[in-house]
Amino acid sequence: MDRTLPAPNGWLILDKPRGLGSTQAVGAVKRNLRAGGYAKTKVGHGGTLDPLAEGVLPIALGEATKLAGRMLDASKTYQFTIQFGEETDTLDTEGEVIGRSDHRPPLAAVAAVLTHFIGDIEQVPPTYSALKIDGQRAYDRARAGEEVTMKSRAVTIHSLTIAGGGEREAPESTFATSAGRPDPYDPGMPLELADSVTLVANVSKGTYIRSLARDIAHALGTVGHVTYLRRVKAGPFHESTAISLDLLNKIGKGAALEDHLLPLEAGLDGIPAHDLDLESAQAVRQGRVLFGMPYPDGPIFVRHGGMPVALMEVSQGAAKVVRGFNFPDAAE
């Protein structure tokens, strides 16, 4: 009889292909862990990625699922293409065309308008979204033919650049009207027109890239929709650490999972780590408060003997448990 491998704990970063839903991706991970001989493992994802989108989907395994909620709050980076000239009801390639325009913006106008979308903005989510209205998903209401009115919400665009333009933020426009808007018809602008443009955006939770694309097109005096969407970073996880679906399937056939599994603490990038002695570790496992912690207010990650013990929150030197982790402690 084959030996059952212990249930893994940590993060598997999947490069989700277009056409696969996030829930389906979780199912694929479960199937391959089972096929690979691993004990039953709790699996979750750190932030939904639409079926039409591709890219970084953090998959939490075992004890890391206790941190999946933190990934929902993390900022994310997307690369996306706006096709000018047509707007669809879904704001992507799946929907019906609801608006057309012959106007194509000059490339310089595109670069200039981006600065007006950086920072805290109000955004109206797409009608075809998973947001609930009176208990029902907006897309379900829209597909049923209902007229759906979406309320605007506050989101933050940390940076917005033309792809290939480096990491700097979009430049301030030198071609602006008295109202502060770039003027696509300023005679000083180059006349190279854009049928489409690919952008890179680092955004807060709750931001809809499809809505951002729609609003950018409107600001340029035209309409548009998203034809390509890729998440290149989610919280601390980058596409460089992501594995393909093919590689995931190889793990199900015996390839080494540990070569691609990131530790639980990889999801706590930027949070101070503190090593506990045995007595303090036992106290934390009992849910007790630690006093005299030499850290500013905020989260800390505590461990003992190299093993995760808990995520804690410090307030005026006192640390309370936010999430406890169940790991065997080799040091005991």
Which residues does the annotation mark as catalytic?
Answer: 50
Lookup result for tokens 């598997």 = 12
Closest-CA residue to 200 (of 329, 79, 49): 79
Beta bridge partners of 88: 97
Element (H, E) at 163: none
- Strand residues in the chain grouped as ranges (E): 10-16, 43-45, 54-61, 76-84, 86-88, 97-100, 119-123, 132-133, 136-137, 153-162, 196-203, 224-234, 237-238, 273-275, 298-304, 307-315, 318-324
179 alpha-carbon distance from chain centroid = 34
- Distance of alpha carbon 174 from alpha carbon 115, whole angstroms: 12
Q: What are phi and psi of 197, to 5 degrees?
A: -150, 145
- Distance of alpha carbon 313 from alpha carbon 310, whole angstroms: 10
One-letter identity of residue 270:
G
As to burial, measured by CB atoms within 10 angstroms (0-12 exposed, 13-18 middle, 19+ buried), residue 329 is middle
- Distance of alpha carbon 247 from alpha carbon 230, whole angstroms: 19
- Distance of alpha carbon 117 from alpha carbon 119, whole angstroms: 6
> What is the end-to-end Cα distance of the chain in Å, rounded?
32
* CA dihedral of 133, 134, 137, 138, whole degrees rounded to 10: -30
